[in-house]
Amino acid sequence: MTNKKIVACFFAFLLISSFLTVTAQKKNKSAAINCYNLPPVNLNAKKDTVKTEARLASEELRKSTIPVSPLNKENLSRAISAVEEAIKIDPTNVDAYLGLVELHGLTQRYADVPGDSAEARAWKYLEKAVSLDPNHAEVANMLASRSVAKYDYACAEQLLQRALELKPKNLRAHFNYAQLLGSMGNFEEAFKHAAMSIDADSAARMNNVYNSGRLRYMAHQYDWVLNHYQKFSETYPKANLWLAHFYMGLAYAEKKQFQEALKEQQLATPSWKGDAGAVANLGRAYAQAGYQDTARQILTELIGRNARGEWVVQYQIATVYEALGEVDEAFKWLNKEVDKGGGFGGWVIWLNHDPRWDKLRKDARFKDLVKRAGLK
Distance separating alpha carbons of residues 291 and 118, to the nearest angstrom = 39
Distance separating alpha carbons of residues 64 and 333, to the nearest angstrom = 40
For the cut 90, the answer to whether the pLDDT of residue 196 exceeds it is yes
Together in a domain, 28 and 162: yes
Distance separating alpha carbons of residues 300 and 320, to the nearest angstrom = 11
Together in a domain, 148 and 264: no
Domain-embedded: residue 212: no
Of residues 125, 137, 185, 175, the one with CA closest to residue 9 = 175
148 or 5: whose pLDDT is higher?
A: 148
For the cut 90, the answer to whether the pLDDT of residue 29 exceeds it is no
Instruction: Look up the CATH number of the domain holding residue 144.
Output: 1.25.40.10
For the cut 70, the answer to whether the pLDDT of residue 308 exceeds it is yes
Together in a domain, 233 and 158: no
Domain-embedded: residue 331: yes
- Per-position b or e across 244-264, b if 16+ CB within 10 A of its CB: bbbbbbbbbbeeebbebbbbb
**pTM metric for this prediction:** 0.87
Residue spans of alpha helices (H) in the chain? 3-24, 34-37, 53-63, 73-89, 94-110, 115-132, 137-149, 153-166, 171-183, 187-196, 203-210, 213-218, 222-235, 242-254, 258-268, 276-288, 292-307, 314-323, 327-340, 364-372
Together in a domain, 78 and 188: yes
For the cut 60, the answer to whether the pLDDT of residue 1 exceeds it is no
pLDDT tens readout for residues 126-146:
999 999 999 999 999 989 988
Domain-embedded: residue 213: no
For the cut 60, the answer to whether the pLDDT of residue 15 exceeds it is no
Distance separating alpha carbons of residues 120 and 336, to the nearest angstrom = 22
Q: What is the pLDDT of residue 270?
A: 92
Together in a domain, 224 and 182: no
Domain-embedded: residue 211: no
Q: What is the pLDDT of residue 46?
A: 64
Together in a domain, 182 and 134: yes
Residue spans of alpha helices (H) in 64-151? 73-89, 94-110, 115-132, 137-149
Residue 26 near residue 112 (C-beta atoms within 8 A): no
- With 0-12 / 13-18 / 19 or more C-beta atoms within 10 angstroms meaning exposed / middle / buried, residue 9 is buried
Domain-embedded: residue 306: yes
Together in a domain, 246 and 123: no
Per mean pLDDT, which range of 67-76, 112-121, 255-264, 364-373 is the poorest?
112-121
Distances (CA, A) of 276 to 258, 281, 330, 339: 21, 9, 17, 19
Distance separating alpha carbons of residues 281 and 245, to the nearest angstrom = 11
Together in a domain, 238 and 188: no
Residue that terminates a domain, selected from 171, 206, 241: 206
Question: How many folded domains does the chain comprise?
Answer: 2
129 or 118: whose pLDDT is higher?
A: 129
Together in a domain, 159 and 181: yes
Together in a domain, 191 and 269: no
pLDDT tens readout for residues 257-300:
999 999 999 999 999 988 899 999 999 999 999 999 999 999 99
Q: What is the pLDDT of residue 33?
A: 39
Distance separating alpha carbons of residues 95 and 104, to the nearest angstrom = 14
340 or 128: whose pLDDT is higher?
A: 128
pLDDT band at 34 (very low <50, low <70, confident <90, very high): low
Q: What is the pLDDT of residue 70?
A: 85
For the cut 60, the answer to whether the pLDDT of residue 218 exceeds it is yes
Q: What is the pLDDT of residue 264?
A: 98
For the cut 50, the answer to whether the pLDDT of residue 326 exceeds it is yes
pLDDT band at 9 (very low <50, low <70, confident <90, very high): low
Percentage, residues of the chain above pLDDT 70: 89
Together in a domain, 286 and 149: no
Residue 313 near residue 276 (C-beta atoms within 8 A): yes
Together in a domain, 110 and 235: no
Residue that terminates a domain, selected from 153, 184, 206: 206
Domain range for residue 95? 3-206
Distance separating alpha carbons of residues 97 and 18, to the nearest angstrom = 18
Residue 68 near residue 79 (C-beta atoms within 8 A): yes
